[in-house]
């Protein structure tokens, strides 16, 4: 639906907050109906990207690099809070918890995928 080439040695999230509203508009102009969801890798893990999604009322799932604070937040999730989801390899469980970075703005709920052992 949309692409943009960046010059030089650009990090993957550079310019994403401005690029996303253009993309959302193109998707809607192409006839998309219902809620939109952005799924992105850790290069898009910024407050500006989360803010752009919230402003456009777009749901989002952004992969993050694990660190001690995120591991602690995930550890608060009880075993009964995990929901199995179909996954193309071994399956996965998903659960949500809250996490706030040390500096604002908050990114939002966390989801962790847990691969299941094949039998």
pLDDT value, residue 112 = 56
Question: Domain limits of the chain?
Answer: 12-63, 65-119
Closest-CA residue to 7 (of 74, 89, 15, 40): 15
pLDDT value, residue 58 = 93
pLDDT value, residue 29 = 92
pLDDT value, residue 102 = 61
Residue 60 has which token pair? Answer: 């989002």
Closest-CA residue to 2 (of 32, 29, 17, 22): 22
Is pLDDT larger for residue 86 or for residue 117? 86
Paired residues of 64 in beta bridges: none
pLDDT value, residue 55 = 93
- pLDDT tens readout for residues 58-72: 988 888 888 888 888
Alpha helices in the chain (DSSP H): 16-29, 47-55, 68-75
- pLDDT tens readout for residues 76-109: 889 898 888 776 566 778 888 777 766 544 455 5
User: How many other C-beta atoms can be found within 10 angstroms of the C-beta atom of residue 16?
Assistant: 20
């Amino acid at each position: 639906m949309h692409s943009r080439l960046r010059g030089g040695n650009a990090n993957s999230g550079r310019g994403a907050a401005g690029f996303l509203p253009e993309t959302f508009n193109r998707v809607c102009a192409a006839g998309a109906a219902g809620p939109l969801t952005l799924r992105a890798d850790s290069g898009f893990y910024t407050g500006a990207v989360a803010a752009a999604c919230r402003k456009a009322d777009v749901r989002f799932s952004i992969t993050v690099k694990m660190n001690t604070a995120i591991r602690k937040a995930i550890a608060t999730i009880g075993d009964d809070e995990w929901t199995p989801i179909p996954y193309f390899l071994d399956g996965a469980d998903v659960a949500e918890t809250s996490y706030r970075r040390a500096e604002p703005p908050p990114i939002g709920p966390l989801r962790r995928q847990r691969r299941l052992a094949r039998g």
